[in-house]
């Protein structure tokens, strides 16, 4: 492998820790989906959501371990917490559970994981650029 490409590939340690974090995130989101009463059939959409759950946990942690970028992890944790709280306050907390017509905030989190990951990467790029600017 050329040195330029090798510089872009994260270390084994970062990939291993990121994979573990991705699995933890996937388990947490699956448990929350079960608790909120989401029904998911085994189809390609479930694969899309599972890949998203894995990547949302893994990518920010790889950036944290490899480059010490904290903001991507914060973006994902905040998005998960806000979406879970929003869904809990609408569908679990009330005395009478309403019939959901549209996806809940947590449902949007699961469906729109690409947007959350993109926001985390952009925020990480801003953090990286700010650190380079301060260091210069």
Q: What are the tens digits of pLDDT across the range 21-74?
A: 999 999 999 999 888 888 777 888 889 999 999 999 999 999 999 999 999 999
The rounded Cα 49 to chain-centroid distance in angstroms is 11
Give the Cα-Cα-Cα angle 106, 103, 110 (nearest 5 degrees): 40
> What mean pLDDT comes out for the span 7-19?
84
pLDDT of residue 98: 59
Average pLDDT value for residue range 116-127: 96
Tell me the whole-structure pTM to 2 decimals.
Answer: 0.85
pLDDT digits (tens, 9 = 90+) for 84-98: 999 888 876 666 655
Exposed e or buried b per residue across 95-126, where buried means at least 16 C-beta atoms within 10 angstroms of its C-beta: eeeeeeeeebbbbbbbebbeebbebbbebbee
pLDDT for position 120:
96
Query: Span 108-131, mean pLDDT?
Result: 94
For residue 79, pLDDT over 90 is answered with yes
């Amino acid at each position: 492998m050329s040195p330029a490409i090798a510089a872009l590939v994260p270390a084994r340690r970062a990939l291993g820790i990121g994979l573990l974090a991705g699995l933890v995130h996937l388990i947490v989101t699956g448990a929350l989906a079960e608790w909120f009463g989401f029904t998911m059939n085994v189809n390609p959409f479930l694969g899309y959501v599972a890949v998203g759950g894995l990547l949302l946990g893994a990518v920010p942690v790889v950036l944290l371990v490899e480059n010490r970028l904290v903001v991507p992890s914060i973006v994902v944790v905040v998005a998960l917490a806000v979406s879970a709280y929003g869904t809990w306050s609408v569908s679990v907390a009330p005395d009478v559970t309403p019939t959901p017509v549209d996806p809940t905030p947590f449902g949007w989190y699961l469906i729109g994981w690409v947007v959350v990951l993109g926001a985390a990467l952009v925020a990480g790029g801003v953090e990286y650029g700010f650190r380079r600017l301060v260091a210069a």
